[in-house]
Amino acid sequence: MLNHQPIILIVDDQVNDLRILGQALQDLGEVYVATQGSQALEVARQCHPDIVLLDIEMPDMDGYSVCELIKSDPRLSQASVIFVTSHRQTEHELRALRLGGADFLQKPINVPIARARVEAHIKLGEESRRLANYDPLTQLPNRQLLHDRTEQAIRQAAAGQGLVGLLSIDIDHFKVINDTSSHREGDAVLQQIAQRLRHCCRLTDTLSRQGGDEFMLLVPELNAVDDLSECAERVMQAIAQPLVIGPSRYDLTASIGVSVYPDDSLDAESLLQHADAAAHQAKQAGRGQYRFFDHPTHQRVRARHQLEREMRTALEQERFEVFYQAKVDLRLQRVVGVEALLRLRDEHGRMVSPAEFIPLAEDCGLIVPLGRWVLRQACQAIRQWNEQGHAISVSVNISPLQFSDPQFLDLVRQALAESAIEPRALELEITEGVLALVDGERSCDLLSDLKALGVSIAIDDFGTGYSSLAYLKRLPIDVLKIDQSFVRDMISDPSDAAITGAIIQLGLALGLQLVAEGVETEEQARALSAQGCHVMQGFLYCRPLSYPNMTEYLAAGRLPAQP
């Protein structure tokens, strides 16, 4: 596995001792000799020894100094230094060990003992290199050794204007094996996969296990990129063959990402990263296939990861903000409520579009802690505005992940208790998608429990999902919000006008409150009001404002004062 001829350096100013040790060890490796400390360092820097047998007393530099310099040099520090000396005092041996010496032999030299000690340290060095460079489960090169060989392949390809390919191989749904069988059986599966993949390799290729169910295949000295397609197909076919472990049969597939030097990357680390990115693209495309690295897709994925890191940092640094948009009742000519809207500033103070970060927050699970924070902020805002004489409610959007959280009911209860507000001043907005994703009975029970607390329930973006009129009858809903996509073109598009009118009539028939979103013109407002929807939300009345600005907006009384 490690085709490494041990290199032994013997340093001694006594020629007879050099001869004795040299003859005793000549068949154990490649032997070099030096008679002075300075000469020993020069030889060591050229041959990079695995074992150094080092005398202590020498004319120009003693063995302790030589050992210290060897151990301080990163290129030589892994060498095992065995001191060979006529000194018998314990302090000499202790000093040698403190300087990094691995062993201590005394003169006159006992050849069998010296040879046995050197053989033992050679084996220890081989085992150390094996552990450092090979995966213990499959005995394949690990990521570090693959990286080194990739760098070497790139250097050779650069000199000859050649190509280097790298395949990142992920076993699809491998976690299911560990979860349903056992980790021992999962390990056996990986070992058999490693055996199969070895048969897909040329002598010059390097198959590596990166950890978990991820393998990589380095293909140097390529003639054409098309060769990598054939290689990927061989790998997929090898993995797809039924695999039997005891009584269990597994039919596996793999997602493979391919990157190419110099087309995709000019260095080993980037080549490895791009192969991983391409494998992720293959998984996203449906698994069981291979994909070559694609720069535009990678840039989008990278931007997505950067935004996720930005959000996590922003949450720690409290750079998220809650903005509020007014809801106006045209009959009363006053603000009757506001909607809480999450906003994010980047590290430079620029606003990040909610269309970018909200879906990502939902995907990566950050929406739950963010939603918890928004709910508390909204309840505190209600309390402060009520104390200022503004009798308004605040609506808060609830994501499917929040709604599915077993702690959600307790969170609402706690937020109400902390802020000491009237529960009816809090409105929870859920989308039709929430009702579709969450178990129907549980949705009904949770909404009933929330209603029992006294809060209001609104259906947001009504009509944009797979609407079911049944839930309007069964669930304790208070408000229907007409989506802005219908309001936007209701004046010019008869279909949008008809849908908007139908939603209004349905809401009125069921005794529900109605709110129209995205109202931007007086004509839209008049048409909605004429049909029976009197509460409006949109740029015609108010853009989303920070808490201080919304407080000013409410205090300014830009609409006629409350009756």
Report if residue 561 sits inside a domain: no
pLDDT digit string (tens) for 333-355? 889 999 999 999 887 888 888 88
Contact 174, 213 (CB under 8 A): yes
User: What's the whole-number mean pLDDT along residues 312-325?
Assistant: 89
pTM surpassing 0.75?
Answer: no
Nearest to 522 by CA among 508, 510, 506, 539: 539
Same-domain pairing of 365 and 479:
yes
Q: Are residues 342 and 476 in the same domain?
A: yes
Whether residue 149 is contained in a domain is answered as: yes
| Residue 402 sits in the same domain as residue 530 | yes
Domain span including residue 274? 143-293
Whether 563 has a pLDDT exceeding 70, the answer reads no
DSSP run (H or E) holding 337: strand 334-345
pLDDT at 440: 60
Do 388 and 333 share a structural domain? yes
What is the model's pLDDT at position 466?
Answer: 54
Same domain, 116 and 149: no
Task: Give the angle subtended at the CA of 509 by the CAs of 508 and 510, to the nearest 5°.
Answer: 90
pLDDT band at 562 (very low <50, low <70, confident <90, very high): very low
* Higher-scoring residue by pLDDT: 44, 1: 44
Q: Can you say whether the dihedral through the CA atoms of 270, 272, 277, 282 is positive or negative?
A: positive
Scanning 79-160, the segments in alpha helix (DSSP H) are 90-98, 111-133, 143-160
Per-residue DSSP letter, 350: P
Q: Are residues 264 and 335 in the same domain?
A: no
Confidence of residue 126 (pLDDT cuts 50, 70, 90): confident
Total domains in the fold of the chain: 3
pLDDT for position 1:
40
pLDDT at 499: 92
Is the model's pLDDT at 524 over the cut of 90?
yes
Calpha distance 59→205 (Å, rounded): 50
**Does residue 104 lie within any of the structural domains?**
yes
pLDDT band, residue 324 (cuts 50/70/90)? very high
Residue with tokens 């390799």: 201
Q: Given 243, 273, 293, which residue is the final one in a domain? A: 293
**139 backbone φψ class: left, alpha, beta (φ>0; ψ -120 to 50):** left
Distance CA 291, CA 264 (A): 13
Which residue carries 């980047």 as its tokens?
346
Pairing of strands 248-250, 243-245: antiparallel
How many percent of the chain have pLDDT more than 90?
A: 30
Same domain for 398 and 252, yes or no, is: no
| Domain closes at, from 278, 293, 308 | 293
Does residue 285 sit in the same domain as residue 360? Answer: no
State the CATH number of the domain containing residue 275: 3.30.70.270
189 and 273 part of one domain: yes
Cross-sheet strand order for the sheet of 80-85:
30-34, 7-11, 51-55, 80-85, 103-106
pLDDT of 2 reads 45
Query: Does residue 346 share a domain with residue 370?
Result: yes
CA diameter of the chain: 113
pLDDT at 548 over 80: yes
Question: For position 41, which CATH number holds?
Answer: 3.40.50.2300
472 and 400 within one domain: yes
Lowest mean pLDDT among 3-7, 25-29, 71-75: 3-7
Last residue of a domain, one of 103, 133, 163: 133
Nearest to 545 by CA among 311, 328, 338: 338
pLDDT for 241-265, tens place per residue? 888 888 888 888 889 999 888 887 8
Look up tokens 């009975």; give the residue: 441
**pLDDT of res. 381:** 95
Q: In terms of domains, do 402 and 544 share one?
A: yes
Q: How confident is the model at residue 141 (pLDDT cuts 50, 70, 90)?
A: confident
**Which three-class secondary structure state does DSSP give residue 226?**
helix
Copy the structure tokens of residue 490.
């209701």
Q: Which of 239-248, 432-441, 548-557 has the lowest mean pLDDT?
A: 432-441
Tokens of 481: 């919000």
pLDDT in tens, 353-363: 888 888 888 88
CA angle 117, 123, 129 (to 5 degrees): 135
> What is the pLDDT at residue 561?
35
Provide DSSP, 270-333. HHHHHHHHHHHHHHHTTSSSEEE--HHHHHHHHHHHHHHHHHHHHHHHT-EEEEEEEEEETTTT
Tokens representing 494 are: 């008869």
Whether residue 562 is contained in a domain is answered as no
Q: What's the pLDDT at 80?
A: 83
> Is residue 308 a part of any domain in this protein?
no
CATH number for the domain spanning 337: value is: 3.20.20.450
Q: Collapsing DSSP states into helix, strand and coil, what is residue 216?
A: strand
85, 56 Cβ separation under 8 angstroms = yes
Q: What are phi and psi of 286, to 5 degrees?
A: 130, 0
Is the bond preceding 560 in cis, omega lying within 30 degrees of 0?
A: no
Whether 409 shows a pLDDT value over 90: the answer reads: yes
Mean pLDDT of the chain: 85
d(CA 461, CA 472): 14
Give the mean pLDDT of 442-462: 88
pLDDT band for 559, please (50, 70, 90 cuts). low
Once rounded to an integer, what is the mean pLDDT over residues 39-43? 88
Token pair listed for 134: 């090979």
Residue 362 lies in a domain: yes
**Per-residue pLDDT at 328:** 94
Q: Is residue 313 part of a domain?
A: no
Query: For residue 137, what are the contacts with CB-CB under 8 A and spacing of at least 6?
Result: 187, 190, 191, 209
The yes-or-no verdict on residue 278 having pLDDT over 60 is yes
- Residue 298 placed within a domain: no
> 493 near 471, Cβ under 8 Å?
no
pLDDT of residue 535: 95
